[in-house]
């Protein structure tokens, strides 16, 4: 039986597969398409230029996971050509206006050879026997000790059993295509339904040319078209690093239904707009076009028909919860706690699931102190167990927050809803932690005490930092998606000042917990000191 079945061969699924391969776990990747990459897609021009029809850029200063992975894989990158000049076509029958200003792309970088180099590099060291293309997930069943996944292939239906499954797909696609048995809870289903798939209903064109005529004229290749008849709304330079192989890329302004209606004439319309902006030398370029709204493994029915809402870079925390007692994990960029929807978010989700899998079996059931049967010995092992226990409280703390928030709404409280619920939830974690710490087996004989502070305190405090931050982040993200809080603007989208107030409350509770934990450790040390010689703790 597989340990981990990864459904989805996009960046999240491939990054997770590589991590599991390095750890030595058994896994397999199942992808519905007959290629890997998901929304990462690069075409090749006749001249051999890589043309990104999906994600194009990354930003080293704000996307550390992606920048780090690119460096680790030894991939070459270069700065997006952007000198700050931009053409703005406001009226269909008038020439474009040239504007100068700061670079539009703000430090964006591109991969040499296209973004698919990232997927190729990730898959390079994976056994080919672990990659299964053309496998569309139809059903997933919780069998109590494992899960059963039913895939449709061109030839037959295939059943796979695994200890756990990771669904590294946009949540809305799961609603469209996958049956869950038993059904997921209402809160999770609603979070999946509300998770807009980033760029799913968009279309992109990249046009290759014999040379970068716009650069010869002192233009950057940047352009915006904002009149009502706009075909391509945003255009950018898509040349290679040296500019020897030339191309322009652009995002379609037409919505999906208009793109379908004008399907036959769309290439001519796109060509005409490029000529209008940059001159007759661009007539008849080599077009590569991708309409993601027509991709059934990218765009859900809701993405196609629902207007785009305000994009939040922190996904609903309900999407980050392990389901079916840890046997089911939702992945993909749309579940990320940071940079949701982006490539960075895909890696954020992969890291989260990797940590969750690594924690499995690390901690005994909640509330039970380590015993000899757990194979733990020494302070280092006990502290590692304690850290695993603390990390496992993230979901419990968020559940507590939701319950406190619901009770406040039910009793028609109107003030400080988020503040009080977050504080109550984190105080509950601290109270439980003191009980677990009291029961923890620690050898205090060699533990130093300096200025009234136990030397163990840094290790006791360390695992709480992530829990405190994740609780606040999850609370804010949950509030933004909560219909119940839509009538409470101050809670629905907490201001920076309000968040700072909550942080001060958490800091005060943290200080109180730290003092109590230190007193407990000092008491343990004092008890050992008072024991008769030869008696161990």
Q: What is the CATH number of the domain that holds 238?
A: 3.90.660.10
d(CA 506, CA 510): 6
- Residue 536 covered by a domain: no
Count structural domains, the chain: 3
Whether 537 is in a domain gets the answer no
Tell me the two tokens of residue 396.
């419990």
Q: pLDDT class for 421, splitting at 50, 70, 90?
A: very high
pLDDT digits (tens, 9 = 90+) for 54-92: 999 999 999 999 999 999 999 999 999 999 999 999 999
- Statement: residue 136 has pLDDT above 90: yes
In-domain check, residue 535: no
The string of DSSP codes covering 70-104 is: HHHTT--EEEPP--S-EEEE-STTSPPEEE--S-S
**Residues 208-258 pLDDT 10s:** 999 999 999 999 999 999 999 999 999 999 999 999 999 999 999 999 999
* Within-domain flag for 123: yes
Query: In terms of domains, do 419 and 500 share one?
Result: yes
- Note whether residue 317 is domain-resident: yes
Q: Do 382 and 501 belong together in one domain?
A: yes
φ, ψ for residue 356 (rounded to 5)? -65, -40
Q: What is the pLDDT of residue 481?
A: 80
Positive or negative CA dihedral for 521, 525, 531, 535?
positive
What are the pLDDT digits (tens) for 303-357? Answer: 999 888 778 888 999 999 999 999 999 999 999 989 999 999 999 999 999 988 9
381 and 501 share a domain? yes
Do 90 and 231 fall into the same domain? Answer: yes
In the block, residue with structure tokens 């696609």: 173
How many angstroms from the chain centroid is the CA of residue 383? 29
Per the CB < 8 A criterion, the answer to whether 198 and 337 are in contact is no
Q: Which residue has the higher pLDDT, 275 or 530?
A: 275
Distances (CA, A) of 158 to 109, 134, 149, 151, 490: 41, 11, 8, 5, 50
Q: Same domain for 419 and 502?
A: yes
pLDDT band (50, 70, 90) for residue 534: low
At 333 the pLDDT is 97
Does 464 map to a domain? yes
CATH code of the domain containing 356: 3.50.50.60
Domain around 150: 1-39+115-195+302-360
DSSP E strands, 32-80: 42-44, 50-52, 77-79
27 CB neighbour count, 10 Å cutoff: 23
Say if residue 234 is in the same domain as residue 98.
yes
Please indicate, yes or no, whether residues 186 and 214 belong to a single structural domain of this protein: no
3-state helix, strand, coil in the chain (%, to 5): 45, 20, 40
Domain-embedded: residue 455:
yes
- CA 332 to CA 347: how far, in whole Å? 8
Domain boundary (277, 297, 317) is at 297
In the prediction, which pLDDT does 372 show?
39
Shortest CA distance to 457 belongs to which of 519, 390, 503? 519
């Amino acid at each position: 039986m597989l340990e981990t079945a990864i459904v989805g061969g996009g960046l999240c699924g491939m990054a997770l597969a590589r991590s599991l391969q390095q750890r030595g776990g058994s896994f397999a990747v199942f992808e519905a398409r007959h290629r890997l990459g998901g929304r990462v897609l690069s075409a090749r021009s006749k001249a051999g230029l890589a043309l990104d029809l999906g994600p194009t850029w990354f930003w080293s200063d704000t996307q550390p996971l992606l920048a780090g992975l690119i460096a680790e894989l030894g991939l070459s990158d270069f700065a997006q050509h952007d000198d700050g000049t931009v053409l703005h076509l406001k009226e269909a029958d008038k020439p474009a206006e040239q504007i100068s200003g700061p670079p539009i792309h703000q430090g964006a970088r591109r991969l040499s050879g296209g973004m698919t180099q990232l997927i190729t590099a990730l898959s390079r060291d994976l056994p080919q026997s672990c990659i299964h293309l053309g496998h569309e997930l139809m059903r997933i069943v919780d069998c109590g000790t494992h899960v059963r996944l039913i895939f449709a292939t061109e030839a037959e239906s295939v059943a796979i059993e695994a200890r756990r499954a990771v669904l590294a797909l946009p949540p809305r696609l799961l609603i469209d295509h996958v049956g869950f048995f038993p059904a997921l809870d209402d809160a999770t289903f609603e979070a999946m339904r509300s998770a807009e798939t980033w760029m799913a209903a968009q279309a992109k064109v990249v046009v290759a040319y014999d040379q970068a005529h716009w650069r010869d004229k002192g233009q950057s290749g940047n352009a915006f078209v904002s009149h009502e008849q706009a075909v391509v709304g945003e255009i950018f330079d898509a040349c290679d690093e040296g500019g020897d192989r030339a191309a322009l890329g652009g995002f379609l302004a037409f919505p999906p239904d208009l793109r379908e209606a004008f399907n036959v004439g769309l290439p001519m319309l796109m060509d005409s707009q490029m000529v209008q902006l940059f001159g007759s030398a661009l007539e008849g370029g080599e077009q590569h076009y991708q309409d993601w709204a027509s991709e059934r493994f990218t765009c859900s029915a809701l993405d196609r028909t629902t207007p785009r809402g305000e994009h939040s870079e922190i996904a609903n925390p309900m999407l980050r919860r392990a389901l079916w007692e840890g046997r089911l994990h939702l992945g993909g960029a749309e579940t990320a706690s940071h940079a949701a929807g982006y490539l960075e978010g895909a890696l954020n989700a992969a890291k989260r699931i990797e940590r969750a899998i690594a924690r499995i079996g690390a901690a005994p059931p909640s509330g039970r102190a380590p015993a000899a049967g757990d194979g733990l010995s020494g302070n280092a092992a006990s502290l590692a167990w304690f850290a695993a226990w603390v990390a496992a409280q993230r979901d419990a703390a968020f559940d507590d927050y939701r319950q406190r928030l619901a009770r406040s709404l039910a009793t028609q409280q109107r003030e400080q809803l988020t503040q009080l619920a977050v504080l109550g939830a984190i105080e509950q974690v601290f109270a439980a932690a003191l009980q677990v710490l009291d029961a923890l087996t620690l050898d205090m004989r060699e533990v130093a005490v300096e200025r009234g502070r136990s030397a163990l305190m840094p290790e006791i405090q360390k695992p709480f930092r992530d829990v405190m931050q994740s609780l606040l982040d999850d609370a804010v993200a949950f509030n933004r998606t909560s219909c119940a809080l839509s009538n409470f603007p101050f809670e629905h989208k907490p201001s920076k000042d309000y968040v700072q107030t909550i942080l001060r409350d958490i800091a005060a509770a943290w200080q109180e917990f730290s003092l109590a934990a230190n007193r407990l450790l000092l008491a343990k040390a004092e008890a050992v000191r008072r024991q008769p010689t030869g008696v161990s703790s």
